[in-house]
Structure 1
Amino acid sequence: MLVSEIEVVTPATLEECLSIIANEEKVLKLIAGGTDAVVRMKEGKWRPSTWVNIKGLRELRYIIEKDGAIHIGPLTTHTDIISSSLLQKKANVLVEASREVGAIQMQNVGTIGGNIGTASPAGDTLPALYVLNTLLELSTNKSKRIVPIEEFFTGPGRTILKKNEMITNIIVQPQGENEIGIFQKLGPRKAQSISIVNVAISLLMAKDRQVLSGKIAFGSVAPTIIRAKKCESILTLHPLTDEMIQNIAKVAWKEVMPITDVRATAEYRRDMASSLLERGLYRLMRRWESK
């Protein structure tokens, strides 16, 4: 099928969009920023009979705080996230991740919903969303359901999203006054490439360097984003001295499960996962001590 032979429909409202994707007879695919679409079509992976262009659905582009949580519309761009004073204050780890999504041009058009829906293990915003305990609202024209982001992905490019469903809300838990977060990425070229390894860290701190609780999520080291539960369990045992940080980083080397591909070997990814976590923890401690 030639690209020119693919039908494009543009719903005017969310209600109309949900009605369109309820059609079981057509092979439909949503498109918003479209930053992955041309690449995937050239690879022969994305060839729906109809593209559903949702870029103009303004009702799905927002960042608001409500009922103790931050709600982000799936059509919110990475530039929107970077510019949000609310997210800078209460979800800075997501802001840092969005800054690493490609070049500025890609940040201007790429959406957070698209980053989630593509389900790449290398998606830069995904580890940040994991450590923010994110919930996803999935809607059809008849129902809605809320699922934790960790249950959404089933493998590279695969999710639990049903054919007639779409992401309609992204709900993140704000970081508290004593919570600090950071996103670290390793790629072939700074801010222009797919991650070889990335990591997001969020820590709830007590006095000095004592961690009350912490979350660590890695990307590009397994079929989906993974929480480093063994590393997390060590975080609270003792204050984060240099020795403790180095020991946690060694545990990360064993906990990740990378593969070898054209971008990096599995061993290199293990080494870099350990190094990124160590560097991130050191930087977080310097931030905490400077507050």
Structure 2
Amino acid sequence: MRVSEIDMVSPKSVEDCLQLLSVNDRTFRILAGGTDAVVRVKDNVWHPDTWININRLDSLRYIREENDGIHIGPLTTHTDIVHSVLLQKKADVLVAACKEVGAIQMQNMGTLGGNVGTASPAGDTIPALFVLDAKIKLRSHSSERVIPINEFFIGPGKSLQQHKEMITDILISPQAENEIGTFEKLGPRKAQSISIVNVAISLKMGSKSRECLSGRIAFGSVAPTIIRSRKCERMLTLGPLTDVAIQDVAGTAWKEVMPISDVRASADYRRSMASSLLERGLYRLMKRWEDK
């Protein structure tokens, strides 16, 4: 399909968009930032009857804190997130992930909702959303539902989002003052590539030296969907995160991930890099915490 052959509409409101999606005799695909869509159209993977361009729906672009957590609109760009003072203080792991989403042009155009909607197991922001216990709000013309992110993805490029639904809100749990996070990524080219492996880490620290009260770890590009590293998480609280303890936790990650071999990397290489990225991330977090 050539770009000149694409049929596109631009609704003026969310309600107009939902009305379009409810039409039964056509297939639709929502276009937000368009950074994934260009590639998928070129590869003839996505070929809907009509594209729905929503990038001018400003009501879907926001970052605000409410009683139930921090709400982020699906049209919020990665650059918006990087520059948000609120998220720098209360969701540093997501800010770190957005800094790694391609080149600056991709960060300016790409949206958080688009990254979630594409449902790629290599999506950089998705592991960060996992460790922040995100919830995804979906709306159709006749209904609304909220799905925890750990239930949202069902396979590579697949989620529970139905064709007549659109993402209208992303809710995350804010980090406390004693929580710190980081995001580590391995790609074939710095800052402009799909992840070979990535990992998001968020730790809640105690008052003693290197004392971890709890932690969350999520790996991307090592399984059909993002995975939480539950065994590694349990090990974080067994004692101070000394150098030896960090190496033990990282060694467990090698056994817990379930990668495949493809044109970008072998399964064994991904396992080794998952372990190395986790080790590097934990060392960096300990250094940051000690410097505070």
Give the TM-score normalised by the residue count of structure 2: 0.98
Alignment of 1:15-34 (within 5 A): 15-34=15-34
**Identity of counterpart residues, as a percentage?**
65
Residue deviations 1:184-240 (CA, integer Å, cap 9, x gap): 001111111000100000011102111111100000000000000010111111111
Displaced runs of 4 or more, over 3 A? none
The letter of the residue matching 1:45 is V
Residues of 1 paired with 2:242 and 2:3: CA distance? 56
Displacement of 1:166 in angstroms is: 0.7
Corresponding residue number in structure 2 for 1:48 = 48
The amino acid across from 1:125 in the alignment is: T
1:91-170 to 2 correspondences below 5 Å: 91-170=91-170
Residue 6 of structure 1: CA displacement? Answer: 2.6
Give the 3-state SS of the residue equivalent to 1:48 in structure 2.
Answer: coil
1:284 and 1:38 mapped to 2: Cα distance?
Answer: 37
Q: Is the counterpart of residue 219 in structure 1 residue 206 in structure 2?
A: no
| 1:239 aligned partner | 240
Q: Could you tell me which residue of structure 2 aligns to residue 209 of structure 1? A: 210
State the partner residue of 1:276: 277
* C-alpha separation in 2, matches of 1:220 and 1:209: 29
Alpha-carbon offset, residue 7 of structure 1: 1.3
Measured after TM superposition, the shift of residue 4 of structure 1 is 2.6
How many residues are aligned here? Answer: 291
State whether residues 128 and 200 of structure 2, in contact with CA within 8 Å, keep that contact through their aligned partners in structure 1: yes
Q: C-alpha displacement at 1:2, in angstroms?
A: 4.3
1:63 and 2:63 aligned: yes
Q: Which amino acid aligns with 2:290?
A: E
Q: Which residue of 2 aligns with 1:188?
A: 188
Match of 1:289 in 2: 290
Q: Distance in 2 between matches of 1:87 and 1:35?
A: 23
Instruction: Give secondary structure in 1 for the equivalent of 2:8.
Output: strand
Return 5+ residue gaps in structure 2 as ranges.
Answer: none
| Two-structure CA RMSD over aligned residues (Å) | 0.8
Q: Which amino acid aligns with 1:158?
A: K
Provide the C-alpha distance between the structure 2 equivalents of 1:6 and 1:49, rounded to a whole number of angstroms: 8
- 1:25 Cα shift? 1.5
Give the superposition deviation at 1:3: 3.6
The Cα offsets for residues 76-124 of structure 1, whole Å up to 9 and x where unpaired, read as 0000000100000100100000000000011101000000001111100
CA deviation digits over 1:9-68, x for unaligned, max 9? 100001111111111211100001100112111211100000000000000000000114
Instruction: In structure 2, give the amino acid aligned to 1:223.
Output: P
Alpha-carbon distance in structure 2 between the residues aligned to 1:71 and 1:173: 9
Task: Give distance in 2, aligned partners of 1:59 and 1:270.
Answer: 41
Structure 1 residue 199 corresponds to structure 2 residue 204? no
Amino acid at match of 1:140: S
Q: Partners of 1:285 and 1:204 in 2: how far apart?
A: 11
- 1:14 and 1:96 map into 2 onto residues whose CA distance is 30
Note if contact 2:2-2:42 (Cα within 8 Å) is conserved in structure 1: no
Contact between 2:30 and 2:53, CA under 8 Å: does it hold in 1? yes
Deviation digits for residues 255-274 of structure 1 (CA, Å, limit 9, x no counterpart)? 00001111111000000000
Q: Which amino acid aligns with 2:210?
A: R
Q: TM-score of the superposition, structure 1-length normalised?
A: 0.98
Aligned-partner SS, 2:51: strand
Aligned partner of 1:21: which letter? L
Distance 1:6 1:184 in 2: 37
